[in-house]
Structures are given as structure tokens and as C-alpha cells.
A and B are shown apart, each in its own frame.
Chain A
Amino acid sequence: MRAVQIAGREPGGNRMEILLLFILIPPLVGAALNGIFGRRYSQALVSLIGCGASGIAMIFALAAAWTYSHSAADPAPIIQKYFTWIEAGAFRAEFALYYDRLTLVMTLTVTVVAFLIHIYSRGYMEHEGGYYRFFCYLNLFLFMMLVLVTASNYLLMFVGWEGVGLCSYLLIGFYFRKKSASDAGKKAFIVTRIGDAGLTLGVALLFWTFGSVDFQYLAARIDDATPGYMQGTLTAAALLLFLGAVGKSAQLPLYVWLPDAMEGPTPVSALIHAATMVTAGVYLVARSHVLFSHTPVALAVVGTVGALTAFFAATIALVQNDLKRLLAYSTISQLGYMFLACGVGVFSAGIFHLMTHAFFKSLLFLAAGSVMHAMSGELDMRKMGGLRHKLKTTWTTFLVATLAISGVPLFSGFFSKDEILVGVYEGPLGQHWMFWLAALTAAMTAFYMFRGLLMTFHGPPRVTPEAEHHLHESSSKMTLPLVILAFFSVVTGYVGWPATLGGGERFNAYLDPVFGHSVALLTAENMRVTDHRLSHLALMGLSIAAATAGILVAIWFYLRSTQVPGLLASRFDGLYQLLVRKYYVDEFYDWILVHPLRRLSESFLWKTVDAQSIDGIFVDGSAGLTFHAGRLLRRIQSGNLRSYATWILLGAVLWLGYILWH
């Protein structure tokens, strides 16, 4: 069926072996150095190690991309096996890395964004405690994320998956003396654990069914099976994997941890909770595209969850007054778009949006961090306004990113979002309701992002006098990464210039060797009469119209007639409260899960089961028993040489008796 190629002797193969390893090693070494010795290092050295490690990783990622593109292997995957990691009976997991065009896109996105955020953090964390700790975690995170995207089997990927989760937990709770921060860390860890349980079960099910956890082997086996074969098992496995993705990528109903995760330092929100880690779920679905394309049911679930999350999170974002939380809900919503794309079978559009989103969303966060810096930690947009005069660079870059995420033509978000909308309209599994919901979400996105922009940077200043006194543009350490990210936020879209506008849709075509087979299968299996009532140009027009409408309403509400939002809020108070209270989901979870669990644990599990039964009977009882046995044995050990010799003789005689009796 598909070309299976394992790199060995062909040109580029050996070089890839080294390059791939060297993408991973620098961040690990950096984390180890800063983790072990960082306390004694100066800030300059710590940041040099941290930034240097991520920079070297980026250079090797670029070199690997170049080598791969010039090797004979491209576009087939290169699999580099280093050693057998675990072998237990039939179970076998290699430490092997997998490199194809999808990995290429992921490693480049991750390393470039990570490098820029490392640079930014040098300035941002300057006056914070635990400088070395921060860079150690950040490097460790980068290592784990790279393991995640380069792993060649589910088990190794799982190591990276859990590793980024750990780093996320550590970094959300970075200000561990603050209770809300450590609580948020725990919440993130526990909620994503629910998803991880699903992922673990899914991988176990795949291993149980096919006897392997290797990507390539599984893809080949699933592909060779006749359509409809083992539909139930495949669907179950796909849904379990998707549960893991839902937890990690903060989709309905497990999204609740992400807004709270904003307690972490802002560079962390930018890197982990916007650009990279939260997109791991999308990567998981895309990497498992063969599996998903064989189960339309599971894929439909992915699409539905994605569409609903995109819409749901956008509605909450409409009324947020905290800048970082606004961005957090926007991230959830955009991740929903990516899942929607995968769910309707246009994986490449999902990955495209993942890439453009990584740049403009991390820019938005970093710019928000710059605002926060200038405002002495203030994040409430009601206490901002008119900042554009004082924070020129921050404002300009924030504006670029806002235009990008709103889908304004010529900015990157426009191209990727348009591709998703076209995909939902025409894709193998697209539904009309999904399309209209996505278009409506696009309008809302433009509205809430411009609302954030206008409330922060435009209009009359509402800054408190003492905050105004400190108001200053951030240092060039912080603004330079903003400018570079702003550049990427514009140009990354051009690699996917749509055919409608005379482009070649190069990004789509580039990933075709990866996903093409699955997409073709989906198209063949789901003979949906493609709806051509709306041409691509009309769809694009619709998307532009949605964005424009959102932007105009925002300008009308927050620049022209500033009393309107207040009037609307009081007119529709019930709805407004519902949104401000985020649909009472946190309260609902507390009521249905957290409180009953706590009551059960305290009264029953702790006092009855643990204290009385386990401690009383098992622990104390068995300890007493073994101790008495131990005492008895001690008596044998008299220290007397003759008695020892007697024991040996006795043993010999008894054994001899046994042998002869046999």
C-alpha cells in the first residue's frame, strides 16, 4: 500500500540520525545545567544557557528540515531507531524518532516560537525570583515537547505528553507561594489526568488489538484491514485517544483548567498554553489520521466537539475583562477550529491553523505581558485605555496579531481560517451547521479581539494615577521578540495562499503525502455530494464579511457609543450574567464532582476505610505479625559458631532426606 521506508544507508539518513538527536539534546542539557547548578550561576549565565539551548535546538531543527527536504527519503517518513527502550515479552518499544513533513512543520514551529519566548523571558523574568528554576522548567518543557512531536510510537510520545504536562504544572504554579497559582497548577494537572487516562487506555487498546504501539506499523495494519473491519474497536480506540486530546487541548468538557492556568508567568501562557502544548491534542489526532479516517463516527465526534468548543469559548470571551483570560478563552476557541478541521477530514488545514495560531497567539500573550509589565501587574482592561501613546511597539504588534486572529485579509489567520471554513463546507465530513457556527464564531472572534484591543490601547485612559506614573514601554529584550513574531504573524499565512486568489495552496500540497491517503479514503467512503452552491470566492467573501462585521461592531461599541455595551448588559442581564459566570460550569463541576468526592473521602475513605480498616487491621496487624516472626528468627541467630554449623548440617541432612525420599 503505502511506501514504507526505513532510513538506513540512503543519503541523508545517517546525517538525520545525528541531527534529530541534536534537536533533543540541547534543551535537556540546558535544563540539567540550570536545574543542578543554576542556583549558583549569575542571571546572565542562566539566561545564556536557557536561550542558547533553545537556539541550538532551533538551528538543528532547521538543519534537519533542510537535510530532509534534500534527501531521497522526502516525502516518505524517516525513522531513526536508536535503541530498544523497553522489551517485555511481546511488548516492545523502541527509542526511535519519526521524521516526516508533519514533524518538520511541528519541530520548526515549536523551536522558533520557543526560542523567541526564551529571549523575551530574559527581560520579563528579570525581577522575579527563581530565575534559574524558570529557565530549567522552560528548557525541560521544550525537550518534552520535542520528544512528543518526534516520537515514533505512542509510548515514547506519551513520555513527552506527560512531560509537558508536568512542566505545565510546575510553571502554572511557578509562584507557588500564591495559593491561587498552586491551586491552578493542581487543577490543570488533575483535569488533564482525566484525558490522559483515556489516552493510556486508547494506546493499551491499540496494543492489545494489533500488538504494537508503533505509528507506522499501526497505520499499515489499520490500512490493510478491509473497510468496516473491527469498526467498534477502532472507534473505541480513536475516541479514547481523542479523550486525551480533549484534556490536553482544553476542549469541551475538560477546558476548565486553561483559563486558570493564566496564573503562571505570561511567557509560559504564551509558550505552553497558547502556542505549543495545548496543540498537542491536535497533533495527536493528526498523527493518528489513519486510525481516525477509518472511523467516521469518531471523526464526527471530533468535529462536533471542535465546532461546539469554538463557539462556546468565543461567547465567554465576549464579556471577559481580564486581558489574559480573554486570550485564554480565545485559545480554547481557536483550538476548537483546529479540531473542527481535523474532524471534517481536512487535517492539513488544522495543522496550518495550528502553525499560524502559534505565532499570532504567542504574540498576543507576549504583548499582553508587556502591557502587564507596564501596568505593574494590572490585567483588568477596565483600568486601561489609551495605552497606545505610551506603548507604541506593544500596541503595533498587538494590532498585527489582532488583525491576524480576526481573519483580516493579508494576515496569516485569514488564510488558515479560510482554509478551515472551505474545508468544513466542502470536506468529506463537513456539515452545514458546523460551517455556519464556525462563520459566526469568526465574527465573534473579530469582535472580542477588537474589544480587547480597543479597551486596552484606545479610548480615554482609565489608568490609576500611580500606575500611570510607572507606565513605560518594555525594554528591547522584550520588544524585539514581539516584532519578530509580528513579522511571522503576517507572512506564515502566505505559504498557503489559496488557489482562488491565484496561489498554489502550497502548504496543503506539502502535507498531502502525509494526509492525502486518508483524505482520499474519507472522500471515497463518505460519498457526500459536494455542495458547490457557494463558490470558494463567495466563502471567502463571507469570511471577510464576518470579520468586518465583528470589527465594526467592536469599534461602534467601544469607540463611538461607549454606553451601548452597558445598556445591552442591563437589558439582557440574565444572558450577560450567564456569560460572565462562564455558564456556571466551574460551579457545576464543584457541585457534582468536587464536593461529593471530598465528602466521601473525608468521612468514609479517610476515617472509616483508611484509619480504621487499613491502618487498624492491615498495617498494624500485619506489621505486628511480621515483627513477631522477625523476633523469632533473631533467636536462631545466636552468634554461636557451633550452632551455625549445626544449622548448616541440619539443612544438608534435611535436603538429603528429601532427595532420597524422592
Chain B
Amino acid sequence: MSTVQASDFICILPQIILSGFAILVMVFEPFVPAARRVMLGWFALFAVASAGAALAWTSTLPGTAFGGSVEASFFSIFFMALFLLVAALCLLGSFDYLARDHVQHGEYYALILMATVGMCFMASSTELILVFLGLEISSISTYILAGFKRQDALSNESALKYFLLGSFATAFFLYGIAFVYGLSGTTNLTALAERIHAQSSPPIMLWVALLLMFIGLAFKVSTAPFHVWTPDVYQGAPAPVTAFLSVGPKAAAFAVMLRVFLVTFAGEGAVLFWLLWISAALTMIIGNLGALAQTNVKRMLAYSAIAHAGYVLVGLATGGEEGSASVMFYLLVYALMNVGAFLLIAHLAGTGEHWTNIEDFRGLGFERPGVAACLTALMLSLGGFPTTAGFLGKFYLFRAAVGAGLTGLTVIAVVTSVISVYYYLRLVVVMYMQEGTPQAPSAPMPWPLRVALAVCVAGIFLLGLFPGNVLTLAHLAAMPLP
């Protein structure tokens, strides 16, 4: 271990800023009158913006820090930028939601910042212990966030389930790390890769270690059969929190998967390949079929989130630069459309989220054409219609898969995504073609939410029509992976 230098801190400057501001938010909280607490939210948003600026600076100084345990690379920067974007969007969508549902507390904003710190460490660290710490920081923050509506039984149930099952799953991950250390004597991914590649035939216990780590991460990204918690938790958690945890921790776990499975364990091709192949197929089938029968919009979107994890797994099974780049592109697209959808539902559901049944959206297309058009665009993108980013994202994933010879898996992916069109369009049909008036009282949309939605919808069309630049970035980020 070399001595710690100033440049080491620059490498993790975004995380330092976020942590510092999170603490400040907590310190300020008692001194801010209840009516003004939204100021803390703006303060948190400022923190995210500052972290973004710091990230931009860090990106000009690529390298590793703290004895090679953290890195600043295109890969980590792509993901960290994604997390910051998600955090900013969710913050914008939360200000008025928290006030409406009478849970305007500073802890909320601090927890969002801390969860983001955890996710950033997951994406940027090359040291399994640090990855685990990041995973725990983000998990614990989101456990609390899921139960943030203390008076609400569903929210409490959601938090408890998430916490118990989450702890169960992270234990697998930690157990996997322990095995890795026992077998190779290191937890540094770079060193580990060298030792694995040096051996001609790796011991079977390495596969077990790999599997245990996979289970821990598979829980986070909710792949079948480790998805069972998802519908309950997503439905019960406050909708802006659902927006956050359906995207942030998921993308972070995928970042770890990309790094660990495609780089470190690259030698274990066949075992890993079928593991991912079967998981992807199962996840897509279960997610899409499960969504069909739902009558609650949040629950439907929860199953849709499972299905999308399945699509991303197709990209992981594909591997290589093409596969990894399309995974990263898809995660960005998925973040925009899912965050947009959940934030919009959070607004439409009304006080206490009373109106989340699909039937409650009847006639919305005529009552509030702008809002309905937004939701339609998001649904079309989730369903993968051309001109939206959802289409191109899937297109790149499936094209890479076909290019790598995964025709069977691609067929399953295409068929299940055709099925998915049914439940996405059902919402559109209800809004435009069914008589009736929307159930929730129509409150004007607060402007911070408008901004967040505008970013999501504009992003969907921008990436759907002009993916060039972002795709190049994804390729740059994926280059050192395979």
C-alpha cells in the first residue's frame, strides 16, 4: 500500500461531496422550520450538481487511487453520471410529493444522497470489500426510504420485506467474497483476474463463489427467481422512491456484474454463459407474463422492471464490447423512461397514492391531454416503439445478441417484448378510449416535476432519434471491459 496522496481524494471527489452534503442536510434539518424543509431538497439537488461538476473534473484525470482500489475510468464515470442524473430527477420529483403526503423531512434527501454515494462506489471500485460497502450503503439507505411513509402500512410492509430479504441476499454476496478470498488470497479484482487466468483449471469452489456473488447481485437487479420481493416492495414504497430504487441500485448492481463477470471471471465462459442465459430467459418470461394480469399500475411497472432486467441480462450473456456497450446504453434509456413513468404515477395517484389502479386513469387523455401524452410517450418507449429510445436500446441489445449467435435467447426476448406491448398499451387505451373521468383530483403539476418529466421525455426522443454520441460514450466505457 502506497501512501495516500491528494490525487486519491480527487478520484473520489464526487462521493466526498455527496457524503459531506448528506451530513450537512442532517445537521441543518432541526433548524429548518417544517414549512421550509423543501429548501433541504434544493440543497441536496445543489449537492448533486456539485458532484456532477466534480465528476466532470475527475473525468479529465483518469487513473486509480487508494492503492488501486478505486478507479476513475470511462466505465465508472458513465455509471456515476447516470446515478447523479437519476438522483437529480428523483429529487425534482420528490419535493412536492413529500409535501403533499406530509412526509417532508430532511432525512429523505440525505438518504438519497447517501444511496447515491453507495452506488458510485459500486461502479468505481475495483476492490470487492469496497464494492460490498457500497452495496450496503445504498441498500440500507433504500430500505429506510422504502418505509419513509411511517404512517402508511403498505410502505412499512414494503420496507420490512425489502430489508429482510435484502439482508438475506447480501449475505450470499458476502459469502461469495469470503470464498474468493479464501481461494485466491485477494479481494482486489485486478489481482484476482490475474490469479484466475494463471491457473489452468480453476477449482470448482471458484464457481461456487461466483454463483454466490451472482445471487447477491441478482437479488438487487431482480432476476428470476430472486425477483419475488420486487412487486410488493415497488408497490408499497412511495412512488418517487420506487422510481429511484427501480433504476439506481439496479444499474449499480449491473455495473458490478459487468466488471466482475465479464472481466474478472471472463475465463469461466461456459458456466457463466448458461447462468446468464437461463436467468435472462426466465426473467423476461416471468416479468412480462406477470405484468399482464396486474390491475395496479405500480405493480405492473414493477413486473415491467423485472422484464427489463431480463433484457439487460441478454446483453450480459452476449458479452464483449458490443454487448457491454448496449447494456450501458440500455440502462441509461431504462433510467429515463422508468423514472419518468414512476414520477408521473406519483403525481397522478393523488394524496396518499389512493388512485393507482389502471381503471383510475380513464378519460385522462381528454381531461389532461398533456399529462396523458407524456405518459403515452413513456409507455411507448417502455414497449419499444420506433423513434423512442426504448426501441433503439432493445435493438442494440438484440442485435449484439444475434451477432454473437444467441439467436434462441433473442427470439425469447422479442416474443416477450411483443407481449409487453399489450400491458403498456392497455394504459394508453384506458386513457384515451374509455369513457369516464379520472378518479384522482386533478392538481396542477408542480414545476420541478415538469422539469424532470421534460428531461425524461425529451431524452427518450433525443436518444431515440440521435443515439450517436451517447452510443459512442457507451462504447468508450465498454472498451476496457472484455
Contact = CB atoms under 8 A, between A and B. Distances in A.
A627 B169 contact: no
Interface residues on B, range: 35 or more
A634 B290 contact: yes
Interface string B283-298: 0001001111100000
Contact of B165 (A88, A648, A658): A648
A623 B422 contact: yes
A113 to B, nearest CB: 29
A651 B161 contact: no
A229 B62 CA distance: 51
A233 to B, nearest CB: 26
A626 B422 CA distance: 11
Interface of chain A, helix or strand or loop or mixed? helix
A637 interface: yes
A173 to B, nearest CB: 22
Contacts of A466: none
B168 A648 contact: yes
A644 B228 contact: yes
Contacts of B225: 647-648, 650-651, 654
A651 B275 CA distance: 12
Contacts of A634: 290, 293
A572 interface: no
B466 A626 contact: no
A83 B169 contact: no
B403 A626 contact: no
A3 interface: no
A83 B466 contact: yes
B466 A85 contact: yes
Interface string A598-628: 0000000000000000000000000100110
B219 A648 contact: yes
Interface in A80-115: 83-89, 95
A633 B469 contact: no
B229 interface: yes
B45 interface: no
B467 interface: yes
Contact of B290 (A630, A639, A662): A630
B229 A644 contact: yes
Contact of A633 (B161, B286, B422): B286
A435 to B, nearest CB: 48
A469 interface: no
A636 B232 CA distance: 12
A662 B165 contact: no
A84 B466 CA distance: 8
Contacts of B469: 83-84
Contacts of A631: 293
A641 B172 contact: no
Contact of A645 (B165, B208, B275, B289): B165
A86 B468 contact: yes
Given A626-B419, A656-B208, A651 B215 contact: yes
A655 B275 contact: yes
A648 B232 CA distance: 15
Nearest to B229: A644
A568 interface: no
Interface string B457-472: 0000000001111011
A58 B289 CA distance: 55
B309 to A, nearest CB: 14
A84 B169 contact: no
A655 B224 CA distance: 12
B211 A659 contact: yes
B169 A648 contact: yes
B231 interface: yes
A644 B472 contact: no
A630 B299 CA distance: 13
A527 interface: no
B164 A641 contact: yes
B226 interface: yes
B399 interface: yes
Contacts of A645: 164-165, 168
A630 B466 contact: no
A652 interface: yes
B468 A83 contact: yes
A644 B165 contact: yes
B343 to A, nearest CB: 22
B468 A87 contact: yes
Interface string A286-303: 000000000000000000
Given A641-B161, A644-B228, A660-B204, A629 B289 contact: yes
Contacts of B366: none
A655 B215 contact: yes
A644 B286 CA distance: 15
A89 B467 CA distance: 14
A95 B462 CA distance: 14
B226 A651 contact: yes
Nearest to B286: A633
B228 A637 contact: yes
Contacts of A643: 228
B165 to A, nearest CB: 6
B32 interface: no
A629 B207 CA distance: 33
B226 A633 contact: no
Contacts of A648: 165, 168-169, 215, 219, 225-226, 228
B228 A627 contact: no
Contact of B215 (A83, A87, A641, A652): A652
B471 to A, nearest CB: 6
B473 to A, nearest CB: 12
Given A86-B467, A633-B286, A637-B228, 17 more contacts: A83-B469, A85-B466, A88-B395, A630-B290, A631-B293, A645-B164, A645-B165, A648-B165, A648-B168, A648-B215, A648-B225, A655-B211, A655-B275, A656-B211, A659-B204, A659-B207, A660-B208
28 contacts: A83-B469, A84-B469, A84-B472, A89-B399, A89-B403, A623-B422, A626-B289, A626-B419, A627-B293, A630-B291, A630-B292, A630-B293, A633-B286, A637-B228, A637-B231, A637-B290, A643-B228, A644-B229, A645-B168, A648-B169, A648-B228, A650-B225, A651-B215, A655-B275, A659-B204, A660-B204, A660-B208, A662-B271
